[in-house]
Structure 1
Amino acid sequence: MIPTATGDDLPRRFADFDTLGDALDYAATGKRGLNFHDPRGQLARPYPFRALRDDAIQATYRLIAHGVRPGDRIALVAETGAEFAALFFGAVYAGAWPVPLPLPTSFGGKDSYIDQLAVQLKSSDARILFYPAELAAMASAAAEAQGAEGIDWESFAERPAPAADLPKADPDDIAYLQYSSGSTRFPHGVAVTHRSLLNNLAAHSHGMRLQDSDRCVSWLPWYHDMGLVGCLLSPVANQVSTDYLKTEDFARRPLAWLDLISRNEGTTLSYSPTFGYDICARRMSSQTKASDRFDLSRWRVAGNGADMIRPDVMQSFVDAFADAGFKASSFLPSYGLAEATLAVTIMPPGEGIVVELVEEHLLAGGGEADKNKPQRFRAIVNCGKAVRDMDVEIRDEDAGALPDRAIGKVWCRGPSVMAGYYRDPEATAACMAGGWLDTGDMGYLSDGYLYIVGRAKDMIIINGKNHWPQDIEWAVEQLPGFKAGDIAAFAITTPGGEETPAVLVQCRTSDNEERSRLRTEIRERVRAITGMNCVVELVPPRTLPRTSSGKLSRAKARNLYLSGEIQPYDIAA
């Protein structure tokens, strides 16, 4: 088997299309495409864009014959492979809205996964759920629970595909519906239009200074915005050949990612959250020279995003792989979120990791530093400049603009920012104002560069995966003796720079042994639901702060906890 070409005589177009279908139509006239690899990084299936388009059109015909109409939501379990890609674009050509949904994880179990799928199917009101045959039992149970039709895509591909007239898409039509990977009990679906998508993809390629000789490698999941938009839809719209490892294969053998980059001589682009670089650096044996196995000298853009960027991890990766040709200047920090389609800011290529030291008391909410205590600093990574057509502002709590180097909430505005969450006007109103999006993240601007210092919004992001605090709180509420409002979950940063969830729980018992038992039970419950270890602190009743309307204020609870104003019970370990 021969992989799809890196170079091509087809003149490159940088996502300057009216619709995503138009983008695939054009890419299919060239020689580039997608390439799927086995767990050891060996080529299993080259998939030229031409073949993807042919399969997508056949899928469109089958969908139309099955009664699918424009605007229908078509859910797809996002397994990295040709079947998902063809059905995703088939739904797009049919005018339906593909809805990528996650694969099962190694924690939580069967019931947890069925519940997650069912909640997202309900939120999107999906008509059909497509899935690989090996997930038939769980996926069909979730579909049945929500009155959706469950179909495994292998059997669907065997159905007749009578030719039909395809609907004409408008740039302002919805292209797909994106759920955060952490959306479980409280899902937020972002409806992305063709215009928004292609604007962001063009801005992304412009920010990376995409070259005709570029080739991409990715292991990122296709249900996450960085994996779907950055590493599937962008290669189509910008005509970039891409090589894929499945996410679960990367998890088992992380260094297969670097093997693939080394083996494919044209590879210049690859993205990862911080934890991907971390696990690779840790896997390198101190007795093994990286140059004996890898050649990373052609890796031009080592993108980093999706979670807080840790400079110590980036340095560890450089230390581990410099003798294999990896250059620290290849690192390309970025900042983005699904609500902006993908990219908000990108570091100009070649500038690498730039760090500033910021006083800890400013990161915890400002105010005067305690002069009686030694000053502590945290390294904050520069996440680059706003992508083309995007405006970024830093605002205070009253939405007033702040000057350079003042820490506040990060707001952004541009053609790729969402109009709102699907069927959720309340959540939309909470984060949108006059076309501007309150990202919920905290940061500051310096000479046009954005520095992200943490999250004001409630999202907890660990190892590149989103977790809604409501899910954690709900899990604890199911235990006897607790109720809504007793629990506040948020992210904290350890002294080593890692993020971890903290859970504050109002406890009414005065028995120390019972408190210890409860803390252990809560920790195990959270781990069972989310797969994460967490810090559990029991606090007195009526400790957790409320807003003026009586709602729990997680951001204030976090600040009070970090400042020491909330004092947990002292419980023997």
Structure 2
Amino acid sequence: MDRLERVLKGKLEDSPGASCYWWMGNWRGRGDLADLVLKSRRVLEESGFREGMRLGILMPNCPMVLALSIACWSLGGAVAPMNARSGAEALLRTISILDLHGVAYVEDRPEIGEALSRAGMPSAPCGLEGPLRPFTGRGASELDDPDTAVVFSTSGTTGLPKAVPISHGNILNNVTSSIEHVEFLRPGEVMLNALPNFHTLGYSVSGILPLVGDIAQAILPSFVPADSALSAINAAKVTGIVAVPTMLSMLMGAVLRGGERPEGVSFIISGGDKLNVDMDRRCQELLGAPILEGYGLTECSPVVSINPSYDSRRLGTVGTMIRGYEHQIRDLEGNLLDDASEGVLWLKGPSITRGYFRDPVNTAARFKDGWFDTGDVVRIQDGYITVLDRATDIIIVGGFNVYPQEVEMALMEHPAVSQAVAVGESNSMTGQVVKAFVVLKEGQEASPRPDNRLRQGEAGAFQGAPKGGHPKGAAPVQHRQGEPQSA
């Protein structure tokens, strides 16, 4: 089985002058990325990083996310991109499960390093284009399979974090099959890399796929503010956008407010959430191209299916499966149904993880005899998949997974809260928003204006407080007397 660093090493060294990524207004060559990889590898080696270890990454999209990944792979280890805005308590729980050698964090957030130090986790500040500062890591209590490339963190049904280890073979199969499947994914294109790297759609499809496919990429730390993203799209001559529906809505809103219209976009891929088909027409009018909708899951590295071209696409579907998947349709009890039936989609194939990281309970619940339970209810007609419902309790806000258990645990950190329940509520813009119900401790009273700590979810050391109003995708916290309703 080939490995990512071997595939990428040849590409970076064979054409060092070829355009690789656009960053902060300038193009960098493949040789520049190779240089960042070499320097990062030296620091990691000196820190004690070895085969089977994992490095946590708490950084926005930037060249160093790619460089640190390749450097860790070249030493036989893996990376674990994490969300710095998930709150201190939730993040430290995740870190404890991942058994990290250390954490690389963005150098302009010293409070992250201070909090990690208090928790006993070695860490090192890192510039967005390097360098990674020297540090001494802790090793690992147990060495992992060296074939693991990335570990993504989510929440389990118990509310405790679970982690999804994705192998080199998983990613290579997924990105090469996606490149074969979609006619626009070819050398000469310029893809936008603006989705969060702690989600597999952003990390694998926006970041790794272009490197493997000899496609240039324009890296943005974030897609907000949308006006700046539009300017960058034109400055870098972006031809392809990978996005979630909320991101597309924000970009179109910025155009309507007078922002720059994209000049060279020829394709838009949307995933992560059910798409409002009316958005397709508006995207073509305002952003320059209609939408190719796809579908995937973290456990599948992530792409399962996508509409392959504008000529063959079927609006309202998530397209056809990429190469390598077998599928079954089952009922909610796991009984096999006819392929024409509506039911839960089960998958088997080389893109799918073998199970959850050191978590036999969650693995046994979702993986049976080599088959993976997606938890999604679908209908398949002529090979085209329509996602009808979700059998799990995940709330999807604008294409991003929100786990009710994480929200509930964050609310329970508030000193006035006794119990909490989070549910999804329909929303015309984001698909769903999070709505929370709390029971206050005895002697506590609800005010007409909820405490800002409740609106944020968690006033952790890693989370910046929003300035006024509710965070995007959040609904007001509602107070209840007595027991909260069951989720």
TM-score (norm: length of structure 2)? 0.83
Where do 5+ consecutive residues of structure 1 fail to align? 1-16, 105-111, 161-169, 356-380, 546-553, 555-573
Decide which of 63, 68, 71 is 1:87's aligned counterpart. Answer: 68
Other-structure match for 1:101:
82
Tell me by how many angstroms 1:23 deviates: 1.5
Q: Distance in 2 between matches of 1:198 and 1:171?
A: 17
| 2:261 aligned partner | 294
Structure 1 pair 470–284 and aligned structure 2 pair: CA distance change class (3 A): same
* Residue 308 (1) aligns with residue 282 (2): no
Question: What SS class does the counterpart of residue 383 from structure 1 fall into?
Answer: coil
Q: Does 1:493 align with 2:426?
A: yes
Question: 2:19–2:216: 8 Å Cα contact kept in structure 1?
Answer: yes
Given the superposition, is the C-alpha separation of residues 152 and 506 from structure 1 closer, same or farther in structure 2, using an over 3 Å criterion? Answer: closer
* Residues 442, 318 of structure 1: alpha-carbon distance in 2 compared, 3 angstrom cutoff: same
SS at 2:166's partner residue?
A: strand
Aligned position for 2:224: 251
Aligned counterpart, 1:205: 179
Residue type matched to 1:335 in 2? Y
Amino acid in the other structure paired with 1:259: S
The 1:158/1:152 distance shift into structure 2, 3 A limit, reads closer
User: What do the CA deviations read for 1:16-51 (whole angstroms, capped 9, x no partner)?
Assistant: x7101112112111243433433xxx32xx332222
1:61 matched to 2:42: yes
Q: 1:77·1:103 contact (CA, 8 Å) conserved in 2?
A: yes
Q: Tell me what 2:114 maps to.
A: 140
The correspondence for 2:242, drawn from 241, 255, 271, is 271
CA displacement 1:269-303 (0-9 Å, x = unmatched): 221100111112222337x6x8xx4354x433200
Are the equivalent residues in 2 in contact too, given 1:23–1:236 (CA < 8 A)?
no
Cα–Cα, structure 1 residues 537 and 398, in superposed 2: closer, same or farther, change >3 Å?
farther
Query: Structure 1 residues 540, 138: CA separation in 2 closer, same or farther (over 3 Å shift)?
Result: closer
Match of 1:109 in 2: none
Partners of 1:317 and 1:499 in 2: how far apart? 21
Contact 1:171 1:194 in 2 (8 A): no
Q: What is the one-letter code of the residue matched to 1:300?
A: S
Conserved in 2, the CA contact under 8 Å of 1:92 and 1:176?
A: no
Letter in 2 for 1:59: S
1:174 to 144, 148, 153: 148
Aligned-residue sequence identity (percent) comes to: 22
Equivalences for residues 166-565 of structure 1 within 5 A: 173-180=147-154, 186-209=160-183, 210-247=185-222, 250-252=223-225, 254-265=226-237, 267-285=238-256, 293-296=260-263, 298-321=264-287, 326-328=288-290, 331-351=291-311, 354-355=314-315, 381-403=316-338, 406-478=341-413, 487-494=420-427, 498-503=431-436, 517=446, 521=450, 525-529=454-458, 531=471, 532-534=473-475, 554=487
**Structure 1: how far apart are the matches of 2:422 and 2:231?**
39
Cα distance change, pair 333–523 in 1 and its aligned pair in 2 (3 A): farther
Are the equivalent residues in 2 in contact too, given 1:332–1:352 (CA < 8 A)? no
Query: What secondary structure, in the 3-state scheme, does the structure 2 residue paired with 1:461 have?
Result: strand
Cα deviation for residue 412 of structure 1 reads 1.8
Go from structure 1 to structure 2 and tell me whether the alpha carbon gap of 1:488 and 1:453 turns closer, same or farther (over 3 Å shift).
Answer: farther
- Paired residue for 1:20? 4
Moved more, 522-531 or 189-198: 522-531
Q: 1:313 and 1:439 mapped to 2: Cα distance?
A: 26
Is the contact made by 1:183 and 1:467 (CA closer than 8 Å) also made in structure 2?
Answer: no
> Following TM superposition, by how much is the alpha carbon of 1:417 offset from its aligned partner in structure 2, in angstroms?
0.6
Kindly state the Cα deviation for residue 310 of structure 1 after the two structures are TM-superposed: 1.9
Q: Deviations over 1:195-253 (max 9, x none)?
A: 11111111111121332332212211222211110111111222211111220xx312x
Query: What RMSD, in angstroms, separates the aligned Cα atoms of the two structures?
Result: 3.5
Match in the other structure for 2:461: none
Corresponding residue SS for 2:169: helix
Q: Distance in 2 between matches of 1:239 and 1:183?
A: 39
Contact 1:24/1:49 (<8 A) preserved: no
CA distance in 2, matches of 1:115, 1:184: 16
What amino acid maps onto 1:231 in structure 2? S
Q: Give the C-alpha shift of residue 351 in structure 1.
A: 4.3
Cα offset, 1:543, TM superposition: 8.5
Give the deviation of 1:120 after TM superposition.
2.1
Name the CA distance, whole Å, in 1 between partners of 2:3 and 2:393. 34
Q: How far 1:394 moved relative to its partner?
A: 2.9
Which digits, 9 at most, give the CA deviation of each residue in 1:65-97, with x for residues without a partner? 322211111112132223332222111111121
Is residue 49 from structure 1 mapped to residue 30 from structure 2 by the alignment? Answer: yes
Q: Given that residues 37 and 244 in structure 1 are in contact (C-alpha distance below 8 angstroms), is that contact kept between their aligned partners in structure 2?
A: yes
Flag the 1:184–1:525 CA change in 2: closer, same or farther, 3 A. Answer: farther
What is the rounded CA distance, in whole Å, between the counterparts of 2:343 and 2:452 in structure 1? 32
How many residue pairs get matched? 461
For residue 161 of structure 2, give the secondary structure of its aligned residue in structure 1: coil
Matched residue of 2:232: which SS? helix
Distance change >3 Å, CA 20–CA 124, structure 1 → 2: same
Give the structure with higher Rg (CA): 1
Instruction: Label 1:339 to 1:233 Cα distance change in 2 as closer, same or farther (>3 A).
Output: same
With 198-207 and 79-88 compared, the bigger mean Cα shift is at 79-88
